[in-house]
C-alpha cells in the first residue's frame, strides 16, 4: 500500500505507529556514535543518549544553514559511525540542497548508517518529490529514510510513519522489533484508500506551503521578533533581547489561548526562540494581529537566560 507508489518492495519498507516509533529501534540497531547537526528534532539525540550511545552535535551557524563541508569534516574528526539529517530541519525550517545531500551520502558511504528524516519535505515546494533521496536507497545501502505521514496528511491520531532501506535484512529486523499490531484498523483503511486522493493531497500541500510563506512575510511586521525563512509548515522566531521564548509562549497561552512551541531548551538555540506552526491563511493573519497587539501592550521586559 505504501511501498508500491514509492517504487519499492514490501521488504524494503516497514510501516509503524508513527515515525517516532522507529527512532529507538534504529538507534539501537545501527548507532554506536551519532553525528547530528543542531538544532534538530531532539528525539534522535535524546534516544541515542538514553541508550548510552555517543553523540557528537554539530552547531549550525546563526542562519541555521548547514555548512556541508564543515559537517563532513566534523563527522570524520569525531569518528562517528552514523549520521542523522532532518529535511527540512525541525525546528529551523532550513533545507539542504539535494546535490549537497547526495554529496554527503557519497562522503559517508563507509558509515554504518545515514538516516534522512523527510517528514516535512512535502511542504518544501511543488518539487518536493525531486528533493527526496528515497529513490537512492539502492545506490547507498547504508541510507535509511524515515517519514511521518501524520504531518502532511493531517492524521496525527492515526500514528502512521514508515522507514525505507535497501538493506532487506535491516528492514526485517526493524519489522521484528515493532509491535506485532503496529497500526490499527483505521490506519489500515486510510492506507488502502489514500492513493485515490493523491491529487487533492498535492494541492493541499501546495496551499499549506503558500499560507506558510505568506505568514512568514506577515510576521516581519511584528517589531519585537524575527522570523526565520522556512521550507516547512512552521516558522522559527527569535524575540528581541529583553524577552524570552518561554515568556512569549506563556503569555500567548495565558492571554490569548494560543499554543506555540517554546524552543528555548533545544540544543543549538538560546533562550529567545519559539516556533509557530502555520494554519489556515485566516488563522495566520489573526495570529499576526495578536502578536502586534502584544507589542502595543508593552510587554514587561524579561531577563534572557544565556
Question: Distance between CA atoms of 243 and 294, rounded to whole angstroms?
Answer: 12
Architecture per CATH, 199-296:
Alpha-Beta Complex (3.90)
Question: Phi/psi at 222 (nearest 5 deg)?
Answer: -80, 115
- pLDDT at residue 186 in the model: 80
Q: Which residue has the cell 556541508?
A: 68
What confidence score (pLDDT) does residue 16 get? Answer: 80
pLDDT of the residue at 102: 97
The stretches in the chain having pLDDT less than 70 are 1-8, 180-182, 296-306
Compute the distance between CA of residue 128 and CA of residue 167 in angstroms, rounded to an integer: 25
Distance CA 301, CA 304 (A): 9
The predicted pLDDT at position 6 comes to 61
**Per residue in 130-142, pLDDT tens?**
899 999 999 999 9
Question: How far does Cα 77 stand from its chain's mean position?
Answer: 26
Q: Would you say 88 and 230 are in contact if contact means Cβ atoms under 8 Å apart?
A: yes
Which DSSP string do the residues of 16-45 spell out, in sequence order?
Answer: EESTHHHHHHHHHHH-SEEEEEES--HHHH
- CA dihedral sign, ordered 241, 247, 249, 251: negative
Contact 23, 44 (CB under 8 A): yes
Question: Which three cell numbers, joined as nine digits, stand for 134?
Answer: 528515497
Cβ pair 284, 218 in contact under 8 A:
yes
pLDDT at position 167: 94
Output the pLDDT for position 180. 67
DSSP 94-132: ----HHHHHHHHHHTTTSSEEEEE-TTGGGS-TTHHHH-
C-alpha cell, 189 = 483503511
Cell triple for 128: 518536493
pLDDT for 215 equals 97
The structure's pTM equals 0.90
Coil, strand or helix: which one is 228?
Answer: coil
Q: Which of 61, 73, 68, 74 is nearest to 96 (CA)?
A: 68
Domain coordinates of the chain in residue numbers?
A: 4-183, 199-296
The pLDDT, as a whole number, for residue 237 is 98
237 near 274, Cβ under 8 Å?
yes
CATH code that applies to domain 4-183: 3.40.640.10
Q: Shortest CA distance to 263 belongs to which of 300, 305, 297? A: 305
Amino acid at each position: 500500500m505504501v511501498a508500491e507508489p514509492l517504487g519499492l518492495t514490501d521488504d524494503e519498507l516497514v510501516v509503524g505507529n508513527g515515525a517516532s516509533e522507529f527512532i529507538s529501534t534504529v538507534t539501537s540497531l545501527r548507532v554506536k556514535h551519532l553525528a547530528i547537526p543542531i538544532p534538530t528534532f531532539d528525539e534522535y539525540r535524546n534516544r541515542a543518549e538514553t541508550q548510552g550511545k555517543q553523540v557528537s552535535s554539530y552547531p549550525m551557524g546563526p542562519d541555521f544553514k548547514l555548512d556541508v563541508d564543515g559537517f563532513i569534516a566534523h563527522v570524520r574528526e569525531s569518528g562517528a559511525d552514523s549520521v542523522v539529517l532532518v529535511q527540512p530541519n525541525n525546528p529551523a525550517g532550513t533545507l539542504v540542497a539535494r546535490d549537497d545531500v547526495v554529496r554527503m551520502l557519497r562522503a559517508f558511504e563507509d558509515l554504518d548508517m545515514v538516516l534522512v528524516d523527510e517528514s516535512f519535505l512535502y511542504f518544501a515546494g511543488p518539487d518536493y518529490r525531486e528533493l527526496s533521496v528515497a529513490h537512492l536507497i539502492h545506490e547507498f545501502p547504508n541510507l535509511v529514510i524515515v517519514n511521518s505521514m501524520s504531518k502532511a496528511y493531517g492524521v496525527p491520531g492515526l500514528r502512521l510513519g514508515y522507514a525505507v532501506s535497501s538493506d532487506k535484512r535491516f528492514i526485517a529486523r526493524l519489522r521484528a522489533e515493532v509491535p506485532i499490531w503496529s497500526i490499527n484498523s483505521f490506519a489500515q483503511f486510510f492506507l488502502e484508500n489514500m492513493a485515490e486522493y493523491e491529487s487533492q493531497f498535492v494541492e493541499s500541500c501546495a496551499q499549506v506551503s503558500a499560507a506558510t510563506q505568506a505568514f512568514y512575510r506577515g510576521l516581519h511586521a511584528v517589531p519585537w521578533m524575527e522570523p526565520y525563512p522556512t521550507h516547512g509548515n512552521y516558522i522559527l522566531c527569535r524575540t528581541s533581547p529583553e524577552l524570552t521564548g518561554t515568556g512569549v509562549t506563556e503569555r500567548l497561552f495565558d492571554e490569548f489561548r494560543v499554543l506555540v512551541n517554546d524552543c528555548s531548551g533545544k540544543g543549538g538555540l538560546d533562550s529567545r526562540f519559539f516556533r509557530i506552526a502555520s494554519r489556515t491563511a485566516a488563522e495566520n493573519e489573526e495570529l499576526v494581529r495578536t502578536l502586534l497587539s502584544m507589542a502595543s501592550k508593552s510587554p514587561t521586559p524579561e531577563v534572557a537566560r544565556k
